[in-house]
Amino acid sequence: MAEYEIVGKRVPRVDALPKVTGEARYAADLTMPGLLHGKILRSPHPHARVLSVDTSRAEKLYGVRAVVTAKDFAGFRYGFMASTRDEPPLAEDQVRFVGEEVAAVAAIDEEIASEAIELIKVEYEPLPAVYDPEEALREGAPQLHQDKPGNISAHVKMNFGDVDAALANAYHVREDRFYSQSVLHGFLEPHAVIARWESAGGITVWASKQSPYFLYRNLASCFRLPLSKVRVIQPYVGGGFGGKNATFALDFCAAMLSKKTGFPVKIVYEAEDILGYGRRRHPMIMELKTGVTRDGLLLGTSCRLIADGGAYTSVGPMTIYLSGAFLSLPYKMPSFRYEAVRAYTNKPVCNAMRGHGSPQIRYAADCQLELIARDLSIDPVEIRRRNVVEAGYVTANKMHVKSCGLKESIDEALKAINWYEVRREINEHNKKSGRVLRGLGIACNGFQSGARLHGHTACSAIVKVHEDGGISLLTGSTDSGQGSETVLAMITAELFGVPLETVEVSKVDSHLTPVDPGSFGSRVTSTAGNAVKIAALKARDKLAVVAAEVLGGEKEEVEFKKESVFLKGRPEKAIPFRKLCHLTYTYGHGQVIVGEGHWSQEIDMPNWETGEGDLAGTYTFGTQVAEVEVDRLTGKIKLNKMVVAHDLGYAINPLACEGQHEGSVFGGLGHCIYEECRVEDGKTLNPSFLDYKMPTAMDMPRVMESIGIETMDQEGVFGAKESAEGTQVSTVPAIVNAIYDATGVMFKELPVTPEKVLKALEGNISEGEG
């Protein structure tokens, strides 16, 4: 493997300094002259007709500058695809969930804006509501959208191979029903925006977005502006996890209020706005009927899935598509049938969250595999080894596995936790029937390394070398905390042979940076990384032409290392990098050193109707192993150890990869045993960090080991693949399988709370299944 100067090293983040000194400015930290403050009025009803909205008293309040309602948006709807645009910026004649935005106010300060909100009189006529997705799909259920009969927001069907024959011929068939609950993204930085209407016709927006170009497109459509007149400027982003992709009411309202007033308008959501009424992960009911051979080889699975979508569609069709497509990874599944319905319910809207659609289905499928292993008396590790995919494998739905370190990830994860010895120890321990039961669990994952999309899917980069040797890197990608700016800067610095601090990464400014799909689907390192490499090499080529002339050689012989430029094999005769940059600017008639690059996965678009085809150019694989303790007296579960072994292609920054793995364990642990949006009559009862209960520093395992399996992927920049979302896909099943190992109870509904554990141990839940 090539030895690099910067790439592959445990390098601290390029944005770490401003983040430890407090200089890093996030959207809510910004202000400007004439700034007005906006507040939003929300519906108290889960489902109601809006009979009238009277804003006259609010408008008369001292300090109020403008009020907007649905009328201002003249029927504009937004959404993921043309056919799914069902969401208005503000509710029109119907509200569909508690907290739906109804009107917005801009005033000279926040307090006046809040007071004005209370003066808006909305007359509602309550309608019957439905909260349970299965009930919503039944005949006679209250209907949310007139043009979507039966409350069907999206419907996906896939059918590959002869599943009926597979199940008929199987040695063993199991049917199980699993439920994954409603969980939140939980980012700390609230949604915030400043919008400024430009009198020449245009909008400038500063907003906290992980995919700012969605905002760019949505504002252009909403305000009927050319895209080039929407300027989205990206401040630092305080976490996203899928929750900051979309455009929300605050973005549209701030822009509309600014248009109406002629002043910039800032809106910052409060905790309750986000934790009580905001986007969340799709709860899913998953029924799997799976057949295997006597040796535990998977033959086929038939899956029925109901996703609880909430009141609008958002990216829901893609969510349930991914849940189905990933039935075929990471285990060989020769045939499968999938039917999924996303139901509208009178609850906040569900969307993408880390792993998008995969963590739910992997929980169901991997835990069912655990049950199959028990039924057939096959070792849980062995049954996985027998079924794993390998490089060159083509799934039933025609996804092509290129590099694949899945087997190695099993080996490494077992080694790290000392599986077989701990296994024996635990068996001995549990025989004593003490208060604490111990368990070991394993689960595997497969995920897309850089999602391929409809429409524009390429990432681009511009590399500009200054005459003093400084380098500016412009991309359209966003670092919402995952560390992609650092990775992209490392790639650039490596190629020019300069220290990392030489490279300045610009955040998105849609007037200046190239358009980009966004930071989702694990696509920044994998996709933007390649674009950066191409751009850097193009810029470097211009320098090489001059260097070759000065050094008396060929362009192809020029090397860039340690801030020095020389001909291959002759480092003694070198020009300092800075000097070469200066020379190049003044060389001949003078030139500017700029390189542009773009890159996209060279794969065909999947067939969205049938579900056939690749979702990404390449895939990642991994294994997670969990060691837990279950307290029989309190029902409390303690995760003692967690190992993440992930085939990430190549670790461009092992320190950042570890951080991603640890963050995945945290997110997965929360999903598995702690977190849940408790919703009653459509109202989220725990809309605060105190009541929602994400794990604290005390709840995390004391031992977390992160192992990078390097398979040097042909597609990835420097061989790298994603290492961010895929790692959260198997966290939940690894822990649930460990709890099963400890207690003998398979928990088929998340989260596995102490209450459920106690009930199960008392035998109130049928033997073997919780």
Partner 1 sequence: MVFIKREVTLTVNLREYRVEIQEHWTLLEVLRDCLGLTGTKCSCNLGDCGACTVIVDGKPVLSCLALAASMEGKEITTIEGLSGDRGLHPLQKAFIDEGAIQCGFCTPGLIMTAKTLLDENPDPTEEEVREAISGNVCRCTGYHKPVKAVLAAAKMLRQEEKGVCNVG
Q: How many angstroms separate the CA atoms of 617 and 527, rounded?
A: 10
Stretch that binds partner 1, among 148-156, 325-333, 611-619, 651-659 (CB under 8 A): 651-659
Binding to partner 1 by residue 459, rule CB under 8 A?
A: no
569: how many CB neighbours lie within 10 A of its CB?
8
Q: Is 101 in the site for partner 1 (CB under 8 A)?
A: no
Stretch that binds partner 1, among 152-160, 461-469, 549-557, 661-669 (CB under 8 A): 661-669
Residue of 3, 690, 763, 767 interacting with partner 1 (CB under 8 A): 690
Give the nearer residue to partner 1 in terms of CB position, either 307 or 657. Answer: 657
Instruction: Name the one range near partner 1 by CB under 8 A: 10-18, 120-128, 215-223, 315-323.
Output: 10-18
Q: Where are the alpha helices (DSSP H) in 475-625?
A: 484-496, 529-551, 577-586
CB of 518 to partner 1, least distance (A): 16
The residue within the footprint of partner 1, chosen from 436, 704, 712, 758 (CB under 8 A), is: 704
Structure tokens at 325: 């497509």
CB of 46 to partner 1, least distance (A): 24
> How many other CB atoms sit within 10 Å of the CB of residue 681?
10
Contact residue for partner 1 among 78, 214, 236, 599 (CB under 8 A): 236
Is the CB of residue 287 less than 8 Å from the CB of residue 305? Answer: yes
13 is a contact residue toward partner 1 (CB under 8 A): yes
Interface with partner 1 (CB under 8 A), residue from 73, 241, 263, 621:
241
Q: Which of 60, 138 has the CB closer to partner 1? A: 60
Ramachandran sector of residue 99 (left: φ over 0; alpha: ψ -120 to 50; beta: rest): left
Residue 476's CB is within 10 A of a number of other CB atoms, namely 27
Q: Which of 79, 99, 238, 439 touches partner 1 (CB under 8 A)?
A: 238
Q: Which listed range, 72-80, 126-134, 267-275, 512-520, lies at the site for partner 1 (CB under 8 A)?
A: 267-275
Letters for 164-193 (x = contact with partner 1 by CB under 8 A, - = none) are: ---------------------xxxxxx---
Q: 52: how many CB neighbours lie within 10 A of its CB?
A: 9
User: Which of 210, 620 has the CB closer to partner 1?
Assistant: 210
Q: How many residues bind partner 1 (CB under 8 A)?
A: 57
Least spacing, CB of residue 611 vs partner 1, in Å: 32
Give the three-class secondary structure for 152. Answer: strand
Q: Is 238 or 719 the residue whose CB approaches partner 1 more closely?
A: 238
Q: How far is the CB of 272 from partner 1 (least distance, A)?
A: 9
DSSP track, 649-681: SS-S-HHHHHHHHHHHHHHHHIIIII----EET
What's the min distance (Å) between Cβ of 520 and partner 1? 15
- Choose, by CB under 8 A, the member of 204, 319, 323, 480 that binds partner 1: 480
Radius of gyration over every alpha carbon of the chain, rounded to an integer in angstroms: 27
Q: How far is the CB of 730 from partner 1 (least distance, A)?
A: 16
Judged by CB under 8 A, does residue 697 bind partner 1? Answer: yes
Residues numbered 705 to 744 that lie near partner 1 (CB under 8 A) are: none
Minimum distance, C-beta of residue 197 to partner 1, in the bound complex (Å) = 24
Q: What are phi and psi of 117, to 5 degrees?
A: -55, -40
The yes or no reply on residue 19 touching partner 1 (CB under 8 A) is yes
Nearest to 525 by CA among 599, 446, 472, 594: 599
Task: Give the nearest distance from C-beta 196 to partner 1 in angstroms.
Answer: 19
485 in contact with partner 1 (CB under 8 A): no
Sequence letter at residue 169: N
DSSP state of 697: T
Judged by beta carbon, residue 607 or residue 688, the one nearer partner 1 is 688
Question: Quick one: which of 340, 132, 98 has its CA closest to 141?
Answer: 132
- Closer to partner 1 by Cβ: residue 243 or 380: 243
Residue 579, judged by CB atoms within 10 A of its CB (0-12, 13-18, 19+), counts as middle
Element (H, E) at 220: helix 212-222
Task: Determine which helix (DSSP H) or strand (DSSP E) holds 95, and give its type and residue range.
Answer: strand 94-95
Q: Shortest gap between Cβ of 270 and partner 1 (angstroms)?
A: 6
Of 486 and 623, nearer to partner 1 (C-beta) is 486
Instruction: Give the shortest CB-688-to-partner 1 separation in angstroms.
Output: 5
Q: 669-688: which residues touch partner 1 (CB under 8 A)?
A: 688
Q: How far apart are CA 82 and CA 98, in angstroms?
A: 26
* 624, containing H or E segment: strand 619-631
Closest C-alpha among 492, 605, 523 to residue 211: 523
Indicate whether 696 belongs to the interface with partner 1 (CB under 8 A).
Answer: yes
- Tell me how far apart the alpha carbons of residues 656 and 659 are, in angstroms, rounded to a whole number: 5
Task: Based on the shown chain and the rule CB under 8 A, indicate whether residue 297 belongs to the binding site for partner 1.
Answer: no
Candidate residues 453, 545, 548, 700; the one interacting with partner 1 per rule CB under 8 A = 700
Part of the chain binding partner 1 (CB under 8 A), chosen from 236-244, 245-253, 424-432, 549-557 = 236-244
Minimum distance, C-beta of residue 500 to partner 1, in the bound complex (Å):
13
Q: Toward partner 1, which CB reaches closer, 222 or 648? A: 648
Reported as type and span, the H/E element at residue 195 is: strand 192-198
Q: Which is nearer to partner 1, 216 or 666 (CB)?
A: 666
Instruction: Write out the binding residues for partner 1, residues 580-609 only, by CB under 8 A.
Output: none
Shortest Cβ 659–partner 1 spacing (Å)? 5
237 binds partner 1 (CB under 8 A): yes
Contact mark string toward partner 1, 607..646, x via CB under 8 A: ----------------------------------------
Among candidates 481, 406, 454, 439, which has minimal Cα distance to 13?
A: 481
- Give the bridge partners for 87, in sequence order: 78
From start to end of 262-297, where are the E strands? 265-268, 280-281, 284-292
The least distance separating partner 1 from the CB of residue 626, rounded to whole angstroms, comes to: 14
Structure tokens at 310: 């909430």
φ, ψ for residue 629, nearest 5 deg: -125, 140
21-60 positions binding partner 1, by CB under 8 A: 21-26, 28-29
Q: Rank residues 12 and 571 by Cβ distance to partner 1 and give the closer one.
A: 12
Q: Determine contact, residues 55/260, Cβ cutoff 8 Å.
A: no
Q: Are 646 and 728 in contact (CB under 8 A)?
A: no
> Of 270, 504, 509, 769, which lies in the binding site for partner 1, with binding defined by CB under 8 A?
270
Give the closest residue to 90 by CA, choosing from 152, 142, 38: 38
584 CA to centre of own chain: 42
Taking the C-alpha atoms of residue 566 and residue 419, their distance in angstroms, rounded to an integer, is 51
**Among 394-402, 447-455, 480-488, 600-608, which window interacts with partner 1 (CB under 8 A)?**
480-488
Task: Report, in Å, the least distance between residue 696 CB and partner 1.
Answer: 4
CB 290 within 8 A of CB 298: yes
The runs of H, that is alpha helices, within 41-109 are: 56-60
Residue owning tokens 């009411």: 249
**Cis amide linkage into residue 751, ω under 30° from 0:** yes
How far apart are alpha carbons 167 and 689 in whole angstroms? 45
Residue of the chain from 516, 658, 676, 725 that contacts partner 1 (CB under 8 A) = 658
Phi, psi at 345, each rounded to 5°: -135, 165
User: Which of the 8 DSSP states describes residue 749?
Assistant: B
Q: Maximum Cα–Cα distance for the chain, whole Å?
A: 85
Nearer to partner 1, 605 or 703 (CB): 703
The yes or no reply on residue 115 touching partner 1 (CB under 8 A) is yes
Interface contacts to partner 1, rule CB under 8 A: 10, 12-13, 15-26, 28-29, 111, 115, 185-190, 236-239, 241, 268, 270-271, 480-483, 655-656, 658-659, 662-667, 688-690, 694, 696-698, 700, 702, 704
